[in-house]
Amino acid sequence: MDNLCTLFKGIDEQIPANLNNSEYINKISLSLNNFCPLVDGENDQKCNNYEEIVISAFITLVFHLKNEVENDKLVKYGILWLCYKLNQKTENTIDNLDEIYNKYIKGIEEYVKGSGDHETYNSCKDIINKKIYLKTIGIKEMSKIYEALKILCKLYTGCNDKETNYANYSQDAQDFANNFENLNQDSSIIGNNSYREILSNLFNDYDYFKNSCAKNCRYCSDIPTLPDINLPKTYVQDQVESSGVTSPNSSIAKILIPPLLIFAIPIFLGIAYKYSLFGFDKRLQGKHLREKLKKIKKKMNDYI
| Percentage above 90 pLDDT, the chain | 19
Same domain for 165 and 121, yes or no, is: no
279 — alpha (psi -120 to 50), left (phi > 0) or beta?
A: left
Helix (H) or strand (E) holding 40: none
Q: How many angstroms separate the CA atoms of 210 and 201, rounded?
A: 14
Final residue in a domain of this structure, among 105, 137, 169? 137
Whether the Cβ atoms of residue 14 and residue 32 lie closer than 8 Å to each other: yes
Bridge partners of 138, per DSSP, are 96
Q: How many angstroms separate the CA atoms of 63 and 100, rounded?
A: 18
So what's the pLDDT on residue 200?
A: 95
Same domain for 6 and 131, yes or no, is: yes
Q: Per-residue confidence at 190, pLDDT binned at 50, 70, 90?
A: very high
So what's the pLDDT on residue 239?
A: 44
In this predicted structure, the answer to whether residue 247 has a pLDDT above a threshold of 80 is: no
Judging by beta carbons within 10 Å of its beta carbon (0-12, 13-18, 19+), is residue 147 exposed, middle or buried?
A: middle
Mean pLDDT of 50-74: 84
Mean pLDDT of 112-136: 70
Same domain for 14 and 45, yes or no, is: yes
Q: Tell me the CA end-to-end span of the chain in Å, nearest whole number.
A: 104
So what's the pLDDT on residue 298?
A: 59
- pLDDT tens, residue by residue, 14-46: 887 776 766 666 666 667 777 887 776 666 777
Same domain for 105 and 193, yes or no, is: no
Q: Per-residue confidence at 232, pLDDT binned at 50, 70, 90?
A: confident
Same domain for 3 and 133, yes or no, is: yes
Q: Tell me phi and psi for residue 264, to 5 degrees.
A: -75, -40
DSSP secondary structure, 203-248, as one string: HHHHHHHHHTGGGG-TT--SPPPPPPPPPPHHHHHHHHHHHT---H
Q: How many angstroms separate the CA atoms of 254 and 243, rounded?
A: 18
The count of other CB atoms within 10 Å of the CB of residue 73 is 20
**Domain with 167 in it:** 146-244
Final residue in a domain of this structure, among 193, 218, 244? 244
Same domain for 268 and 229, yes or no, is: no
Whether the Cβ atoms of residue 51 and residue 93 lie closer than 8 Å to each other: no
Task: Identify the residue with better confidence: 33 or 166.
Answer: 33
In this predicted structure, the answer to whether residue 233 has a pLDDT above a threshold of 80 is: no
Q: Report the mean per-residue pLDDT for the chain.
A: 74
Same domain for 127 and 7, yes or no, is: yes
Mean pLDDT of 154-181: 81
Q: State CA 261 to chain mean position distance.
A: 50
- pLDDT tens, residue by residue, 63-101: 888 777 678 899 899 999 999 998 888 667 778 888 888
Nearest residue to 17 (alpha-carbon basis) of 79, 91, 78:
91
Mean pLDDT of 196-200: 94
Bridge partners of 45, per DSSP, are 38
Same domain for 161 and 174, yes or no, is: yes
Final residue in a domain of this structure, among 106, 137, 168? 137
Helix runs in 28-168, H state only: 50-65, 71-88, 97-100, 109-112, 118-132, 139-160
Whether the Cβ atoms of residue 162 and residue 214 lie closer than 8 Å to each other: no
So what's the pLDDT on residue 123?
A: 72
| Percentage above 70 pLDDT, the chain | 61
In this predicted structure, the answer to whether residue 280 has a pLDDT above a threshold of 50 is: no
Q: Per-residue confidence at 301, pLDDT binned at 50, 70, 90?
A: low
Same domain for 130 and 14, yes or no, is: yes
Q: Tell me phi and psi for residue 99, to 5 degrees.
A: -65, -40
So what's the pLDDT on residue 285?
A: 52
Nearest residue to 147 (alpha-carbon basis) of 83, 235, 229:
83
Q: How many domains does the chain have?
A: 3
So what's the pLDDT on residue 260?
A: 45
Same domain for 165 and 120, yes or no, is: no
Helical packing angle, 139-160 and 169-184, nearest 10°? 160
Q: How many angstroms separate the CA atoms of 214 and 196, rounded?
A: 25
- pLDDT tens, residue by residue, 257-277: 455 445 444 554 454 444 444
Same domain for 14 and 129, yes or no, is: yes
Nearest residue to 145 (alpha-carbon basis) of 194, 97, 98:
194
In this predicted structure, the answer to whether residue 52 has a pLDDT above a threshold of 90 is: no
Same domain for 116 and 229, yes or no, is: no
Whether the Cβ atoms of residue 36 and residue 53 lie closer than 8 Å to each other: yes
